[in-house]
């Protein structure tokens, strides 16, 4: 005779159990700093929408580390490295995390794809696939319920920088981008996204140390280079990028009547290498350009265009003239794909299906990207 399993006794909520539960939650939060595929302790309830300051501890620590500049002083070489790393990583975020991984507005080879994923990862904004998955959700629910960072829904500070401290947004979404999750090297960068920023920090420290010994005339050292080349440059890159999520929906002018609060701003375009033309982008996201008109400065587009001329990228999607003029009657209507390839190739903000459904069919098809190439091979009939 099989005896029924006795029900598990309900233990009282003693102070000891409460302490153990708090320790477990804290341990999961700390472990999540190093392995993004680890459970994030989600409850799938109201607690997931609260900001976890434990999750944000490294973020705040980076801001505090910037104060070391008062101890290390400043030098020309340190500021130069700070500026170069700022714009190099800003281009990787705006030109590649955004226009390539999120919207697929141009094509490239696997090696170049990986190199810019590494460069963008060094900006400490998590991996390219997780970044792109959240951005596609932003377009799908822009300034509506479900938008992970909307000033209209949750105010300035959450939309600017606190949104990624919520458990519901900390959970890694890398595997949901089926069009790119087939590349194990990209999944590795997403899972252990702290490795590349750590390597960059150690590199700036070592370079500054060596320059202090072998080029004393530059008046720098390891701690100074670490402070300016990594801490200050990274924090500045953070807030430059974050300003599009917050200020890009608050300040500026609206050229097109979109369903959200997106605006165009020359100032934001200058500090983000072209992302400030945010109203343009929300009007028509299926193009590599953010600046639709010649006078709308878009440095990331200029760099991508230059790379297309030497064969590193190809298939740049232009802006149709009727879209620029704002006379396209189909601009706001969602595209209903007629094939699986159209589903994942369409601009994500026009795709009516959720990420899991819209990309599920991509596992069974060949994505328009070389599966393995030592060097990017541009098709002979491709046009930049």
- Determine contact, residues 114/369, Cβ cutoff 8 Å: no
**Residue (of 263, 268, 243) closest to 252 by Cα position:** 263
Dist. CA 162–CA 166, nearest whole Å? 8
| Average pLDDT of span 196-217 | 96
Domain assignments of the chain as residue spans, ordered by start: 67-364
What are the φ/ψ torsions at residue 254 (nearest 5 degrees)? -110, 110
pLDDT band at 52; cut points 50, 70, 90: confident
Q: Could you read off the pLDDT of 283-329 as tens digits, one per residue?
A: 999 999 999 999 999 999 999 999 999 999 999 999 998 898 876 55
Dist. CA 275–CA 294, nearest whole Å? 15
H or E stretch including 175? none
Residue 33 above 70 pLDDT?
no
H or E stretch including 313? strand 313-314
Dist. CA 66–CA 240, nearest whole Å? 16
pLDDT band at 28; cut points 50, 70, 90: low
Residue 199 above 80 pLDDT?
yes
Longest dimension (CA), the chain: 88
pLDDT value for 20: 59
pLDDT value for 43: 52
pLDDT value for 284: 93
Q: Strand, coil or helix: what is 325? A: helix
Polymer length of the chain = 384
pLDDT value for 168: 74
Dist. CA 211–CA 222, nearest whole Å? 8
Q: Could you read off the pLDDT of 332-384 as tens digits, one per residue?
A: 433 323 333 333 333 333 333 333 333 333 333 233 333 333 344 455 454 44
H or E stretch including 88? helix 76-91
DSSP category for residue 101: I
Residue whose pair of structure tokens reads 């596992």 in the numeric block: 363
Q: Strand, coil or helix: what is 43? A: coil
What are the φ/ψ torsions at residue 243 (nearest 5 degrees)? -65, -25
- Determine contact, residues 204/81, Cβ cutoff 8 Å: yes
Dist. CA 162–CA 175, nearest whole Å? 23
Q: The pTM is what?
A: 0.78
Mean pLDDT of the chain: 80
pLDDT: is 344 or 77 the higher one?
A: 77
């Amino acid at each position: 005779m099989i005896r029924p399993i006795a029900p598990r006794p309900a233990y009282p909520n003693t102070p000891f159990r409460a302490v153990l539960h708090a320790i477990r939650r804290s341990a999961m939060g700390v472990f999540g700093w190093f392995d993004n595929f680890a459970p994030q302790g989600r409850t799938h309830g109201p607690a997931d929408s609260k900001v976890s300051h434990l999750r944000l501890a490294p973020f705040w620590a980076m801001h505090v580390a910037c104060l070391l500049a008062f101890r290390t002083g400043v030098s020309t070489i340190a500021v130069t490295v700070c500026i170069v790393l700022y714009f190099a990583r800003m281009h990787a975020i705006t030109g590649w995390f955004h226009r390539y991984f999120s919207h697929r507005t141009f094509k490239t080879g696997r090696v170049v794809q990986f190199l810019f994923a590494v460069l963008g990862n060094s900006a400490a904004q998590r991996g390219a696939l997780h970044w792109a998955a959240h951005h596609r959700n932003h377009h799908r629910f822009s300034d509506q319920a479900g938008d992970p960072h909307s000033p209209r829904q949750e105010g300035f500070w959450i939309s600017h920088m606190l949104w990624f401290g919520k458990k519901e947004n900390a959970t890694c979404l890398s595997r949901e981008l089926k069009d790119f999750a087939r590349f194990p090297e990209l999944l590795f960068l997403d899972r252990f996204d702290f490795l590349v920023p750590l390597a960059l920090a150690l590199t700036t420290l070592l370079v500054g140390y060596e320059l202090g010994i072998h080029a004393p005339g530059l008046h720098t050292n390891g701690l100074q280079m670490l402070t300016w080349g990594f801490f200050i440059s990274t924090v500045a890159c953070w807030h430059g990028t974050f300003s599009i999520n917050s200020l890009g929906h608050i300040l500026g002018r609206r050229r097109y009547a979109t369903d959200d609060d997106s605006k165009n701003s020359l100032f934001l375009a200058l500090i983000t290498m072209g992302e400030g033309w945010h109203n343009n982008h929300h009007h028509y996201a299926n193009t590599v350009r953010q600046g639709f008109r010649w006078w709308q400065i878009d440095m990331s587009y200029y760099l991508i265009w230059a790379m297309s001329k030497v064969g590193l990228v190809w298939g740049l999607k232009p802006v149709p003239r009727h879209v620029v003029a704002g006379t396209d009657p189909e601009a706001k209507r969602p595209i209903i794909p007629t094939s699986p390839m159209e589903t994942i190739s369409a601009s994500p903000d026009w795709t009516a299906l959720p990420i899991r459904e819209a990309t599920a069919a991509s596992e069974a098809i060949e994505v328009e990207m070389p599966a393995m190439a030592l060097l990017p091979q541009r098709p002979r009939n491709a046009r930049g």
